[in-house]
Every structure is written in C-alpha cells, then in structure tokens.
Amino acid sequence: MGKKTKNKRRGPEPVNTTPLPKKRAEKDPRKHGQATRETVESLVIAFVLAFLFRTFQAEAFVIPTGSMAPTLMGRHADMHCPECGQRYRINESELTDSDVDRIREMRGGRVSPAQIMAENRGLAGQCPNCRRINWLGPVNGIRESQDAVLERSYSGDRILVNKYLYSFTDPQRWDVVVFKYPGDAVQNYIKRLVGLPGEELEIKGGDLFVRENDSDEFKIVRKPPKKIMAVRQLVYDSAREPAELRQAGYPLRWTPANDGWTAEEAVNNKRVDLAYQAKATDDTSWLRYSHIPANAVTWATAERTGIDLGPDAKPQLITDYNAYNTTIDGQQLRRQDGRVALPTNDQGLHWVGDLIVDAEVDIASDEGKLVLELVEAGCRFRCTFEVADGSAELTALPFGSTAAQPIAACGKTGVRGDGSHELRMANVDSRLTVWVDGGVLKFDKPTDYDAQELLASDGGILPQQDDANPGDLSPAGIGAEGLEATVDRVTLWRDIYYIAEKNTKDDVTPNRGWPPSDFLMTTSPGEVAVKTDNGPVTWYDMMHDPAAWDAFRARRSQTFKLGEDQFFVMGDNSAASSDARLWAAGNGGKGGIPGGPYLERKMLIGKAVCVYWPHSFDRLPGTSIPFPLFPNVRDMRLVR
C-alpha cells in the first residue's frame, strides 16, 4: 500500500515501550531560516519605530492590565513549569499604578509602592499544559511551596503606538488600539477594535456577528489567518508530557484509536518524549485526542506511591480557560481555608468548539492518505492529503450522518511523497484554514460554511456525542491510510471566546458578583451552576456529562448598536476585560461612567504597532550570571 522499498529495512513494528530513537529526521533548513527572518524583521521594525519618537509619529505606552492577555501582558509573573517545561504568564497583581497610589494615600504615605505590591501579589498560578499549580515562591503553611524559586514581578509590555495613522486612514476591524477611556479622558486603555460605525454587533456562542441594517441578517465576522494565530491559546502540547503523571498511570491525551497507530514513550528527566507511528493500513486508522486535563487533586495524588490515576481521568469539553487568570493570592487561600485548588470560575465557564491543530509529521511513503480532523458540535471537519499527487480536500461529516459533504479542494499542497512537514488546520469563525510549512493553502472554493446548516441541532449549536461517536469529547484527530508516518509533535489550540455579557446603563447584568458569562449564573448546592428552564445545572456536569449538554441552550447572546463615529472595543482576555460590553459602572467603578457601550472616534490615540520592550532579564538567559536589564529579544514582536 504505497510503501517504499527503503522502508522495508526499518525492522519490526515498534511497541509502546520502545524508547525513542536518539536522532530524529533533520528539520527543513528553510523553516529555520524563516523563523530567523521573522525575528530579524520584528527587531528591525521595533528599533526603526523607536527612532520615530523624535518626529512624534509614535509614542510609547505600558500595558497596565491583563485584559489583552496573552496577546499583550499587563503586570505579570513569567513562569516556567518545573514539571512539563511550559512557559506561561500569570496576572501577578490586580493592582494598577493608580491603585497603588490611592492605597498609599489612604495609608498616609507610610508604606512604599513596593510594600503595597508585595502585600497584594499573587502566590501561585496554574500551568496551561499540564495544569500543575506552581508557586511564585515559598508561602508560610504551604508545604508544596517550600522548594519554589522566588519569582519576581514584571510590569506590562512596553509598546509603540502610531498616533497619526488614523488621521489618514480609518481604523480597521481587529486593530489593537490605544484610546482615552470614555469615562475619564486622563486614563489610557488598550483593546481590540471589533465593531465599526453604523454596525449592530452581536456576540453569540463566542463569535462576533454584524449587520449594517435592521432588515439584514447577522453575519459572522471572520478573522484572517494572522489574527487567528495572534489570539489562539494553548490547550495541550504533546512535547511537554509530564513524566510524574505518566508514571502514576495518568493516560496520554493523544492515543491510538485502533491498531494502525502505536505510541512510543521514553522518560527524559521530568518529561516524556513522545512519538506516534502509523503503519500502512487498508482503512483509515486514527490517533485521537481526549481532553483530560489534570487538576490540583490529580497532582497531589500523583505524589503518593501505589495509586493508579488512570480510572480518575474523565474526558471533558474544552473551555475558555486562560492561564493568565489562574492567579491564587492570599485572600483566596484564606477563603479556601488553605486548600490549594483553582476555583471553577477560573477554569473557563464556556465550551469552545473553534480549535486549531498543529502536527509535525514525517511521511515515509510515496502514496496514501493523511488526514487532519477537528470536531465541533459533533461535525467532523477533515483535510485529507493525497500523498501520491500532493492534493488535498476539505470535507464535513455532520453528526449522525454517514455521507461527507465536500467543501473545497487544493491541487498542490507540497505534501507529496515522503518528507517532513509542519501541518496546521483551523476551524475558526465557521471557516476552515490550512497551513503547510508555514504557508496558507489556497483552495478552489471559499472554505466558509454555514454553521446553522452543519452544526445546529433543533435550532441550537450544542456539543454532541453518542455510544459510537465520542464527538466533542474527542475533538481532534490525525488519520492515516495506506502509508507509514511518524508524528513527532502535535499541539492543540483554541480560538478566542468572546463572552456574551452586557452591563450598560440601560441593561444592567443580572450576574452581579459573577465573572462575565453567557449564562445566568447560580449555585446548586454550593457548586457553580447555570440557570436553565429545567432548573440549575452544575458546571461540572455540563463539561463532563453529555446528558447535561442540553443546558447549552441557555447561552445568551447580546447586541450593541453603534452610531456614527462610534466603535466597539473588547479585550482578548474576555473573561477579565472591562471593555465596551461592561461600561455601565465606569470600568469596574474606576474613572467615571462613559456615555454608552461604545468608543467615540475622538477618543482614539492610535494603533499599537509593536512590543519594543517586553520585560528584561536580571541575568544572562540560561545562566546564573547577573546582567541587569538584559534585553528580552525573544518577546519583541509586532502587535497583530
């Protein structure tokens, strides 16, 4: 079945316990060159723009809060998980500089700003990949924190803003803009511009819809590929599988669904090196993802000997979880009587069906099929690569159907014959996008689809699953038919989820005391729950139990009408952003009350262009050699 002669000398099929080969196939040097060019380009642009200070064409700003995280960072701690190695940032403190000044004034100036920040700083945060809670330093009374290295606090990203661009051109949707807060023209804020003058905007199911006239239907707003990449958030990276969980019997998230695939594992210090091997089969064999994130209890149990964690792993839906929002501070520890756990509110309250999958694949055959699959509302979206001729086809298989519907085709993808490739597929904003080795594929037809036609069940878009089809509990897969291949790394991401909350002067939210939510929130009994026509349903049941999924019909949508020269802005960190949706009480009671849920053109300062100075390092990277203010070149970047 398309197997090359040279492959016959590879020896017997690997088994699950076979160590990984020490030497992998060499990466394409063009990819390294591309990454180098992008880094150099970002640096050149950053430093060129810095010179524009002298001509007053650009101005520097510091990001004050985490409302745009992880796109742009406010005050934060920069963490590296000691178990899986994942780098992530958490909200180090809710206090802004103005908050510190106000507290210092209330206390008669007897304390320094540093003391105030120390009293209110975060103590721990959760890794987005392995979900271990990591400490920012030793905490009295918390045994597991005593070996933690003290992490310092960093101020927000420093960005350059083009102040005069909007004097010559109109703002564009998805621009990241700096503006004067409408309730207090002294304060500068930064958000993403998503609504344009004269539009009516609808937030529904995590997506944005617009219409220009009352007689028109709302149409979904789709992000271009660069914006998709800018706002995506990590779900899981197979290259960062923690050894401690595996040794305690916790299952892998990517597992073979049948005999066509095998998983190779080798413990490498604190991580497990993983590779997945596909052998040539007559039918499509599948490697599938199950979302089984660990939690604080899982990690505490893993430290005990003789306990098998496998039976406790239960798949759940992917949510709008954001590691930046997982900060645990002293007040929270006191509320939980010292128990170390992440509150439900910080685990993401909403199911996210828009996903992106990346795969590093080494194909060892000159024919056969390789398939990338993403599932939303039970519908299986697939990109099938024909290795023999290098073509690809996009299809959709709705839940409960046996016939796939063609969407579009591409005659030349570059995936032809044997070779190594970086493949990516996104199902975002009711559009399929495919990348091969960094380039976006062009298909013969638009790759947009009608979500109501393909995804809706009895008028609502809900997660789906049955005995024969895991559906949204297994929302991603890689298939192989008639070829041999190795998947060295596979990473799953989610799209940004815009929360349909509204708190304006004329429409005050009923969710007082709750984070922003699509749902009307309550407790039942003592657990976080949502209100439905059939009574409250707990968040835990909604995420884990298909019998509770009808509760997703209780999701609300919100609409906002914009007038002439009015824009709508929201933060990328929708769960922790006081933006135009919530401007009833003056950005959380700070700085006055704006005129309505909109931003007037006259309040715009400019467009964010680049992060020219992210936080610096105190020592040479990778060493213990002191070097104050060592430039953090890696995080200098354009703002997308």
Q: Which residues are identified as catalytic?
A: 67, 191
- Provide φ and ψ at 406, rounded to 5°: -70, 140
Q: How far apart are CA 577 and CA 69, in angstroms?
A: 9
Total residues belonging to the chain: 640
Reported in sequence order, the residue ranges of 142-186 that DSSP labels E, i.e. its strands, are: 158-162, 176-180
Residue 580 contacts residue 597 (beta carbons within 8 Å): yes
Burial of 225 (0-12, 13-18, 19+ CB in 10 A): middle
Cα angle 517, 561, 502 (rounded to 5 degrees) comes to 20
Q: Which tokens hold the place of 45?
A: 């642009």
Q: How far apart are CA 225 and CA 438, in angstroms?
A: 11
Q: How far apart are CA 438 and CA 37, in angstroms?
A: 13
Find the helix or strand (DSSP H, E) in which 119 lies.
Answer: helix 113-119
Following DSSP, what letter does each residue of 193-233 receive, concatenated? EEE-TT-EEEEETBEEEEESSTTSPPEE----HHHHHHH-E
Q: How far apart are CA 341 and CA 528, in angstroms?
A: 15
Residue 174 contacts residue 192 (beta carbons within 8 Å): yes
Cα angle 543, 545, 551 (rounded to 5 degrees) comes to 70
Label each residue of 534-578 as H, E or C: CCCEEHHHHHHCHHHHHHHHHCCCEEEECCCCEEEEECCCHHHCC
The CA-atom distances, in angstroms, between 422 and each of 30, 132, 443, 636 are 12, 29, 18, 24
Residue type, 99: D
Q: Where are the alpha helices (DSSP H) in 412-455?
A: 451-454
Between the two ends of the chain, the Cα-to-Cα distance in Å is 44
Residue 489 contacts residue 254 (beta carbons within 8 Å): no
Region class of 138: left (phi > 0), else alpha (psi between -120 and 50), else beta:
beta
The reply to whether omega before 398 is within 30° of 0 (cis) is no
Contacts of 360 (CB under 8 A, 6+ apart): 420, 421, 422, 487, 488, 489, 490
Residue 190 contacts residue 587 (beta carbons within 8 Å): no
Residue 1 contacts residue 368 (beta carbons within 8 Å): yes
Contacts of 102 (CB under 8 A, 6+ apart): none
Please report where in the chains the tokens 């040097």 appear, as a residue. Answer: 29
